[in-house]
Structure 1
Amino acid sequence: MRRLPPTEATGLRTGRRHSLAEVYRPADLVVLGLGVMIGAGIFSIAGQQAATTAGPGVILSFMIAGIACLLACLCYAELASTMPASGSAYTFTYVIFGEVWAWIIGWALILELQFAAAVVARAWAGITVGAITNFGVRVPNEGLVGDILVFVILVLLTGIVALGARVGLRALWIMVSAKLLAIGAVIVVGVAHIDVANFGEFYVPPKTLTTPPATVLEVLFGEGQAFGWFGVFAAASAIAFAYIGFDIVATSAEETVNAPKAVPKGMIRSLVIATVIYLAVALVMVGMASYTKISVEAPLSGAFRQAGVDWMVHVIDAGAVLGLTTVILVLIVGQTRVLFSMARDGLIPRGLASVSRRYHTPTRVTLVIGFVAIALAEFVPVLTMQELVVIGTLFAFLFVAAGVIVMRRRMPGLERGFRVPLSPLLPALSLVATLWLMVNLRVLTWAWFVLWMAFGLLVYLVYGRRHSILARPHAPVESGRGGGRHRR
């Protein structure tokens, strides 16, 4: 249960462990957050949830989901302002709860980020093929073309991240700007075709689902429901998953100028902006088509076709392709920083913590992550396992919320750049909201997650426990090439 001393985590800012160049400013962090939070789902999730789960009440679902995610974001903001390290939740847990729990969170983050990169790359390939066919171009052997596109996009984006944070940042600015232009066009054009009658009554009478219970919540109640208030809250759980990604902004803390102040602002601002954008698209979606007539597979595209604005389909396709491209890019960046931190602490091979002298970035671990993402996307049916990404994220959310409460008691003297208001009430509400999201996941997802964590614990006992830097408190430690030395 050995814990990383707070001075070691915060020592990053004094140069004792710092080995990554500072490249991010507050506006860059907002772009980073929008890059990962706004993907192709912005064009589909509102319509899908309105048609199948919440009806026009999906607008309320977006508000509820935004509040739940904001609670978690506030907790991340306080810990990131206190310990501005690239490990994010992994480092926070190392300091507050100890090494075993830090490993568990790091292992959960590996599940989240590595699987997410593979899942999104596979989805990106499918959407890209669909966009090509929407132009009337026949794509022979779509499966083979999809495999090639997955390989190309992951190699390209891995290369961009490996070349340095500045290169990736410039590419991200360009793609996020183009993506926001596409979303802006959807909102502006869509508003002109809104029929107020489609909003109707926000409350739609509930109906019992005929499918067997699949989620933990459905198993507990013995059956599932759609629509009604249960449907509104169930849709909020699904929608909250679309907002997830603000936590990755915290992994950039070590590379951010004036991180204790800038990181909290970047996280909160990006989440608020993303919530407003999602709400605007949801209002357009529900307003353009009655929830009883929404096409579940292509909600917005179908609505614009019904309105006779066929050219908007190509704008939506472009926005979706760009949206998923930026998501993959930021996921690779986040995964790189988490593994870099774990390697620097000795819990995984320390060779992965080396920093390229030429590019000033952890190139070696970046290439490893890219290779694993390609293998997963090409040879594993990752699209059927995407809930594993969500449960890994939510598990980290639990520890971050609990960490704010525990750190306030154990380490009240630590300097904080941001404080969660009304603590411990808001962190406790974040815990409750996160648990609600978790019980809305399938039982099968929980089973796979337990197996993954059990395997991870075995890896720690065999390797990490013995190779941890804290296991050798008097050994000199070098923080990668280009970094200084320190003693634990």
Structure 2
Amino acid sequence: MGNNMFRRMPVEQATGQLYGGRHRLRVAFRTRDLIVLGLGVMIGAGIFKIAGVQAATTAGPAVILSFVIAGLVCLLAALFYAELASVVPVAGSAYSYSYVAFGELWAWVVGWALILEMLLAASVVARAWSVFAAQALSDFGVPVPSWLADLIGQPKGFDLFALGILLLLVSMLATGSRLGLRTLWFMVLAKVIVIGLVICVGLTFFDPGNLTPFVPEARPAAEGSGQTVLDAVLGAVTDSTPQVFGIWGVLAAAPAIAFAYIGFDLIATAAEETENAPRNIPRGIIISLVLTVVLYLGVAVTMVGMISYDKLDPSGPVLAVAFDAAGASVMGKVIDLGAVLGLTTVILVLLIALTRVVFSMSRDGLLPRGLAETHRYGVPFRAAWVSGGAAIVMSQTIDVLTLEQMVVIGTLFAFLFVPAGVLALRRDRPDLHRPFRVPAAPLTAALAIGAVAWLMLNLKVQTWTYFLVWMALGVLIYLVYGRRKSQLRRLLTEEQAVPARRPAAAPTGSAVRGPGAGGPPPGGAPYPGDRYGSGPQPTETYSPGGPYDRAARPADPFGAPPPPRPYLSQPYSSRPTDTGPQQRPRQGPPPHDPYAADPYRRQSGGYPTPEHPPAQGLYPRDYPREDDQQDPPYRDRNPW
């Protein structure tokens, strides 16, 4: 099992029982913070452009239906994210869900896809931010020196604005998430106000005649637009050519629009930093996605109602052009401001999520363990610097604006595993507490997987080719590094070796000692690390499989159900514990305490019987009191 690439992480381990304080993240988010996080990443400059581009090139006024279709598909996926986030509230998001549901290799594949999504998205949005910032300076009449004009707003090559915004936000994240959270609140509030102003002003110029025909007649797609996988399959089977507009155009616009909604999944990466995560993470995911769909629909209705779709120029600022045609050119400056703010928040949240996924994968040993280091503020500063540095290098060396669809395919690939993970955990771990449950899960999961697969088929063949190359590189890295360095592999290997290190039984004829008298079991050397008796007794032995073997211990005779013990072959005192932010050991009775159901018997030794003698001396000073000034000597060592 230790060398099996499909080894699955127990849910109890994934939720942090083995992670020490050095690898803990600080709690910083509440439900309203998560909603702001979602709005920050899902609402960018695309809200002012994507509706006009898709209306002009693919769907016409029926682009409104495309927004609804894409929103429903993303909402289906969000429901499954919400259930898994309530069961496994950890920083890894879909990576961690796949680890507990399918195994390590699949977890690595999903995590590698998430890194592609967020790393490339941060680079793409930083480039777009530079373009919009340069346009805003021009619209506001701010003079730009000639030497600087060639270094900003460039689609490829060195760009000073893209470099500067990434450096600023990475530095902010590496020093503490609270500063980034306050900044995010301010910028999200400002851009929501701008969007509300755009919708209110635009609706005053609404003309119902611009909505006819609502579904324009289908026509062949323009040359050079790129062939999708679905087009290639249909062309091979039916000899048909790609078409736009009509019903097919409405469906074809949905995958591009789904790119605008992508980001709700990033909320799940903040689970370890969220107060009452099993309840608040599902709320944050669903509420933020619904609000985003409403805002996008409002802008889409405004845009197609202000100007006819055949008069829109998809290569320019479509919404600003619509306001110019309506005689409200001042709104172009408002849109510039909203676009810059919107893209800033997108970059910030993408970097937060990328840092948490890298942190989670390195904590599990699949990436270098040093990246999981946190400083005194509970922020993974090394993961932040490395992730941000990779985004900076990519934005300055690659023509990332041509790889926008790579972000979509990486995200949709992760979406496929989440509904399947819900079904797998419901089958394998029905005992888990689920604060949020997806209704009619088998049917809903089938719909979600089918809808996501259909969106992926509408991506270009070239995008699929690049994606397969990226995934092949990821599998190679796992086989060379991650498989050998996996922390789960190390722990499983150590557990399998524990019985071989135990001393053989050697009866010595010592007196039998009952459980009420304290001390280790009869027969010879003590059980390794025993802390339930009065200490080591050189004349007693431990017998594997006997009455004092913790792996074979019977149920509590007083009816208290034994807690789950995922490490049956390890002595209790060497098992890691959840120390929490105060660096204190977990409080509570030992897992096989026969008096847990009756505290009076522990205090007074009452109700003695021959089978259960008085309890005095059974647990001599076994647990620390509240007034302890230091950790007790038996505190477990953290192997992580």
Q: Tell me which interval the TM-score lies in, with the shorter structure as reference length.
A: over 0.9
Cross-structure match for 2:165: 153
For the 8 Å contact 1:24–1:256, the answer to whether it is kept is yes
Alpha-carbon distance between aligned partners in 2 of 1:14 and 1:428, rounded to the nearest angstrom? 35
Q: Judging changes above 3 Å, is the alpha-carbon distance between structure 1 residues 15 and 220 closer, same or farther for their aligned structure 2 residues? A: same
Of 228, 241, 255, the match for 1:237? 255
My pick for the range that moved more, 25-34 or 293-302, is 293-302
Aligned length: 487
Alpha-carbon distance between aligned partners in 1 of 2:87 and 2:150, rounded to the nearest angstrom? 47
For the 8 Å contact 2:117–2:406, the answer to whether it is kept is yes
Residue by residue, what CA displacement relative to the aligned partner does 1:153-207 show, whole Å, maximum 9, x if unpaired?
0011001111211111100000000001110110011010111111123221111
Alpha-carbon distance between aligned partners in 2 of 1:15 and 1:239, rounded to the nearest angstrom? 42
Of 323, 327, 337, the match for 1:308? 327
Alpha-carbon distance between aligned partners in 2 of 1:154 and 1:274, rounded to the nearest angstrom? 25
Q: How does 1:384-423 map to 2 (within 5 A)?
A: 384-423=402-441
Alpha-carbon distance between aligned partners in 2 of 1:78 and 1:143, rounded to the nearest angstrom? 49
Cross-structure match for 2:525: none
Deviation at 1:11, TM superposition (A): 3.4
Cross-structure match for 2:96: 91
Deviation at 1:56, TM superposition (A): 0.8
Alpha-carbon distance between aligned partners in 2 of 1:145 and 1:160, rounded to the nearest angstrom? 22
Cross-structure match for 2:355: 336
Cross-structure match for 2:505: none
SS in 1 for 2:311: coil
Q: How does 1:195-210 map to 2 (within 5 A)?
A: 195-210=207-222
Alpha-carbon distance between aligned partners in 2 of 1:371 and 1:470, rounded to the nearest angstrom? 28
Cross-structure match for 2:317: 298
Alpha-carbon distance between aligned partners in 2 of 1:271 and 1:11, rounded to the nearest angstrom? 28
Cross-structure match for 2:386: 368
Alpha-carbon distance between aligned partners in 2 of 1:351 and 1:210, rounded to the nearest angstrom? 50
SS in 1 for 2:434: coil
For the 8 Å contact 2:18–2:578, the answer to whether it is kept is no
Deviation at 1:239, TM superposition (A): 0.6
For the 8 Å contact 1:344–1:479, the answer to whether it is kept is no
Residue by residue, what CA displacement relative to the aligned partner does 1:47-67 show, whole Å, maximum 9, x if unpaired?
111111111101111111110
Cross-structure match for 1:228: 246
Alpha-carbon distance between aligned partners in 2 of 1:486 and 1:16, rounded to the nearest angstrom? 9
Cross-structure match for 2:174: 162
Deviation at 1:17, TM superposition (A): 8.8
Residue by residue, what CA displacement relative to the aligned partner does 1:1-36 show, whole Å, maximum 9, x if unpaired?
111111112236997896111110000000000000
Deviation at 1:431, TM superposition (A): 0.4
SS in 1 for 2:310: coil
Deviation at 1:448, TM superposition (A): 0.8
Alpha-carbon distance between aligned partners in 1 of 2:71 and 2:394, rounded to the nearest angstrom? 31
**Between Structure 1 and Structure 2, which shows a larger proportion of helix residues?**
1
For the 8 Å contact 2:119–2:387, the answer to whether it is kept is yes
Instruction: Provide TM-score, normalisation by structure 1.
Output: 0.96
Of 353, 357, 382, the match for 2:372? 353
Instruction: Provide TM-score, normalisation by structure 2.
Output: 0.74
Q: How does 1:55-204 map to 2 (within 5 A)?
A: 55-137=60-142, 139=144, 140=146, 142-146=149-153, 147-204=159-216
Letter in 2 for 1:457: V
Q: Structure 2: which 5+ runs fail to align? A: 1-5, 154-158, 236-240, 496-574, 584-636
SS in 2 for 1:472: helix
Residue by residue, what CA displacement relative to the aligned partner does 1:204-233 show, whole Å, maximum 9, x if unpaired?
111112426511011112221101110001
For the 8 Å contact 1:26–1:266, the answer to whether it is kept is yes
SS in 2 for 1:87: coil
Q: Structure 1: which 5+ runs fail to align? A: none
Q: Which structure: larger Rg?
A: 2
Q: Confirm whether residue 214 of structure 1 aligns to residue 210 of structure 2.
A: no
Structure scoring higher RCO (CA < 8 A, sep ≥ 6) equals 1
For the 8 Å contact 2:21–2:580, the answer to whether it is kept is no
Alpha-carbon distance between aligned partners in 1 of 2:423 and 2:196, rounded to the nearest angstrom? 40
Q: How does 1:317-336 map to 2 (within 5 A)?
A: 317-336=336-355
CA RMSD for the aligned pairs? 2.0
Of 382, 385, 394, the match for 2:400? 382
